[in-house]
Structures are given as structure tokens and as C-alpha cells.
Amino acid sequence: MELTGAQIVIECLKEQGVDTVFGYPGGTILNIYDELYKHSNEIKHILTSHEQGASHAADGYARATGKVGVCMATSGPGSTNLVTGIATAYMDSVPMVAITANVAVNLLGRDSFQEIDIAGITMPITKHNYIVRDVSKLAETIRNAFRIAASGRPGPVLVDITKDVTAAKAVYNKVVPEPIQRKTDEITEDDIKKAIGLITKSKKPFIFVGGGAVISEAHDELKEFVDKVDAPVADTLMGKGAYDGTDSRYTGMLGMHGTKTSNLGVTECDLLITIGARFSDRVTGNAKKFARHAKILQIDIDPAEINKNVVTHSSVIGDIKEVLKRLNEKLSKQNHKEWIAHIMDLKEKHPLRYNQDTLTGPYILEKLYEVTKGDAIITTEVGQHQMWSAQFYQYKMPRTFITSGGLGTMGYGLGACIGAKVGSPDKTVINISGDGCFRMNMNEIATATRYNIPIIEIIFNNHVLGMVRQWQTLFYDQRYSNTNLTDKVDFVKLAEAMGAKAYRIHSKDEVESVLKEAIALNEPVLIDCIIDSDDKVWPMVAPGAAIDEVFSEEDLKNRQ
């Protein structure tokens, strides 16, 4: 049958099983929005307060569900407002399709009103992108975009469609998408054999898990693998929940704000088995001194990650779930009783600590874990609150911790929280924010209230840019250049003005009752938590130092 380009867009979204789109309309994309209106019973559109919020919501939806997230924007500033969200998704390998519209073909290259080369702008931060100038190629392009976004190592794809294409007509025939196949073509028997050899010869193995294990849904295979190797497990920020954070073998996060147990254990191990992690600088510290006593076995879907940041001794390329299945079939049960006992001793000697005398972020997170029984999706912004969320809330399952890792995007969490809740309506979804981050995209509270999306926004309000202040305190002789936020903004009144229920807490004894009430309300809620401006994230590795040079607050006081 013959359809307009706008109709083809909607039919292709329906082909792909898209049930929700996040976006903001404008002139060049009006034809598509007109068709969305006609199909509102099939595809729900969430109008965000800003296009950046739409991109973060699509990202959060994708991370929570494993599906491809979809966002839309008009040309010019509408499309450029998606850029930060697209880059965030790219850095964290999130499957997302961003659909933008542009001026008509005859107006391209003429500096027309709201014309921008969004394909050129996003080329470095997408897996692929397109500009569609011919309506006959539109359906195939959209199908390819979804396939590319979801296959292999996932990532964002941009499809820019000129306005005349959305009005032109072409023959459309429905196509049922083929299932995305797991990447196994590069898994070789020789690589599996080498990996088994390294594991069976190791006396002190350590398993290090990243976001790739979450993406590949390898939770069960990873558990079996850990049991067979008989090794302790650390993770990255992106790897939270891939391995059960309540398991006795779990030692916590690795790296700059990782636990002493993880940092010291990885430094002492003789084999580091790295699963779906890319050895970012925040993990390795001084890369030349990272895991310097160990051979490194890296398992990853992307061959470009092998030997990029850290030189490996062996690697297996392929989908992590499939690689672990093959390793589990061939690996005999190992026994490292003494090594595990040593790591457990480190855990006992070096627990995470915080000030118990006053209201703090860690205390709130521990109470939140207790109240939710760990059965919630936690999203975050970026900063101290993000690190505390990684340290003090325990993640038992994948897709329950959603945060901007690679790009470190302040203003990410609230939009992502909305997207995660839309994608997982039966889960309690809570965004942890600092007051600095909340200012970035706080207008999305209005999105939550517009649709009565029952998210909870918890602000750790220390009236400073906390993580930057921490660095200024430790490394810049307390020169607090532009990090004090001692103004008169009242977040409770602001949230209430946008239609949300709001609370302010100052003390520990208020936390539990407010959290329980907020969850029970089942409506958008903001909780403004007043904490000390000099609370810090401990432990810490100084920039450029080796990870075994990790120090706590007590260590710092002893040095001084």
C-alpha cells in the first residue's frame, strides 16, 4: 500500500514493537507528530520538558527494559538538544534510535531556518546515522537503525528525515523483524582453551565485571562461572547487578572510589578475569601499575576494547552470555579456599564507613535499601551521590542501577528515572541526585506530574557541587572556585509548584517514615535531604595513583 513518509515512520515503529516514544514536536517534524496523534492508542508519546530530557528518558527506558529506546525532536535546536543524551548512550552502549526531522531537501545547505547538519554533528557519538532524502528508502533505513542499535555492542543510531520526505508517498509493505542474533562468530575453540588454561593454573584469580555482562543478560551464567572459578568478584559502576551484590564473594566496586578490598585484591591477584569491562581510567588509576602481578584474561564483545587501555595476556571475543556458557561447559570446579579466606579477611578489615552521628547520603541509601528490600530501580545523576549509590545500595539483579558512567552527565538521572518507570511500571523507581545536578534538568519534574509518573526524586542537598568541592579540598588547597550553591532556591516549593508532593528532611529519625510515605503515595515525589557540605566519598584513589594506594578518611588523618 502507498503511505506518506510520516505514516511509514509510525508503521515501522509498530513493526519494531515500540510502545513508547519520548520527544518534543516542532515545525519540520509535524507530519510525524500528526500521525502519532492518530496512533496514540498504539504508541504512547511522552512530552518531556526539554529535548535533552527526552533523550535521557529513552536511554533510561532502554537500560531498564533491554529494548531499544526511542526519542524524537524537530530540526535545529530541537535536534542539537538531543546531542548530550545521544553521547551519554554511546559511551555506555545503550540501544537507542533518535528520530529527527530536517528542512526540505531543496533547503538543505542554505542556512535555512532551523537547519542543522545533525548527522554530521552526531557522527562521532553514534554507531551509525542517516539522513533520509528519498521516501522510498525510509522504511529500510528505520529497520536498519533498530537492527544496528540492538545488535552486537549496542548503541545509539540517529535517523534524520527531511520534511518533504515525511509528506511524500511510497509503497510500504510490512516486514516482521528478524530476531537479533547473539554475536558468536569470533568465539574460537583456541581462545576458549587458552582461557581455561589460564583459569586452571591460577592460584589467586579475581573476576572483574562490567556493563557488558548486564547488556548480555549473563546474570545466571556469571553466577555459575564464579562458582566454578571460586573467585572473588568486583564490578564497575556500569556492572552493578550483573553479579549479586549481597553474595559473600562480592567485594564491591573497583577503582577511584572502589573498596579497599577490591583494589587491594585486584593488585594481589595472579589472574584478572575481566568480563564486559573496558578498563576506563577511573577503574585502573595508573594503568602501568594496574593488576601488575596478574595475567589478564579479557572477555568482550568488541575487539576494539582488547589491548586498548590495558594489555591483556589472552582474550575471548563474543557475546558474554555465549562465551560464559562455553566456558562453563568445559571448566571443572576450582578450589581457592585460602585465597577466598584472605579476601574475606580484607573485607572484614576494610568495610565502608561513614559518619553515624548525623544525616548523610550513605545513611539515606542504607535506609532506602532497607525500606525497598533492595527491590527497586535506582537511577542517579553524577557526583558524590552517584558514588554513594554505588557503594551503599546493594544491587542483586541487572538493570536495577541506571547511571551515566562513561560521559558522566549531570542532569541525566531525572529523565532516565522517568523512562525507567515508564518501561518498568511495576517497579519502584527512585532517582538519587545532588542539588547541583537537580538544577540541570529539574524541569522534568513537570513531565512526571503531567503524566502522573510515580517516581521519587531524592536530593542530597549539601549546597555545593560536592564532588568538585571534594577535589578542591584535597588537591586545590580549599580554593572553592564557583562550587558554593548558597542561594535562595527552595526545591520543596519548586516541586510543589510543578505539581509534585515534596518533603524536606534534616535528621536521621525522619528518613524512614518519609521514604515509606513517598513510596506508598504512588505519585511524583521530591525529598530534599539537607546534608553537610563537607561530606566526602571514601575511600579514594588520587588521580594518577595506583589503585592499591587507595586511602580512607582515617588514612588521610594519620598522614596529616
Q: Identify whether 201 is a catalytic site residue.
A: no
DSSP for 261-309, written as a single string: HHHHHHHH-SEEEEES----HHHHBSGGGTTTTSEEEEEES-GGGTTSS
Amino acid identity at 196: I
Q: Which of 113, 169, 174, 203 is catalytic?
A: 113
In a 10 Å sphere around its CB, with 0-12 CB exposed, 13-18 middle and 19+ buried, how is residue 190 labelled? exposed
**Torsional sign, CA 437, 440, 443, 447:** negative
Q: How far apart are CA 276 and CA 34, in angstroms?
A: 42
Q: Which of 51, 268, 381, 457 is catalytic?
A: 51
For strands 525-530 and 501-505, give the pairing: parallel
Across 490-520, b (16+ Cβ under 10 Å) vs e yields ebbebbeebebbbbbbeeeeebeebbeebbe
DSSP for 373-439, written as a single string: TT-EEEEE-SSHHHHHHHHHS---STTSEE---SS--TT-HHHHHHHHHHH-TTSEEEEEEEHHHHH
Cell 528505520 locates to 142
Q: Identify whether 268 is a catalytic site residue.
A: no
Q: Which of 14, 15, 44, 114 is catalytic?
A: 114
Q: Identify whether 96 is a catalytic site residue.
A: no
Q: Identify whether 114 is a catalytic site residue.
A: yes
DSSP for 483-497, written as a single string: -B--S---HHHHHHH
Which of helix, strand or coil describes residue 54?
helix
Q: Which residues contact 376 (CB under 8 A, 6 or more apart)?
A: 368, 400, 427, 428, 429, 430
Length of the chain: 560
Q: How far apart are CA 494 and CA 487, in angstroms?
A: 14
Q: How far apart are CA 130 and CA 453, in angstroms?
A: 33
Cell of 9: 515512520
Q: How far apart are CA 193 and CA 316, in angstroms?
A: 10
The sheet carrying 233-235 orders its strands as 250-253, 233-235, 205-209, 271-275, 295-300, 314-317
Phi, psi of 211 (to 5 degrees): -65, -25
Across 229-251, b (16+ Cβ under 10 Å) vs e yields bebbbbbbbbbbbbbbbeeebbb
**Quick check: 417 and 428 in contact, CB under 8 A?**
no
**Quick check: 550 and 264 in contact, CB under 8 A?**
yes
Q: How far is CA 232 from the centre of its chain?
A: 24
Q: How far apart are CA 548 and CA 260, in angstroms?
A: 8
Q: Identify whether 467 is a catalytic site residue.
A: yes
Q: Which of 72, 387, 442, 467 is catalytic?
A: 467
Q: Which of 67, 127, 163, 183 is catalytic?
A: 163
Q: Is 382 left (phi over 0), alpha (psi -120 to 50) or beta?
A: beta
Q: How far apart are CA 171 and CA 140, in angstroms?
A: 12
Which residues are identified as catalytic?
51, 113-114, 163, 467
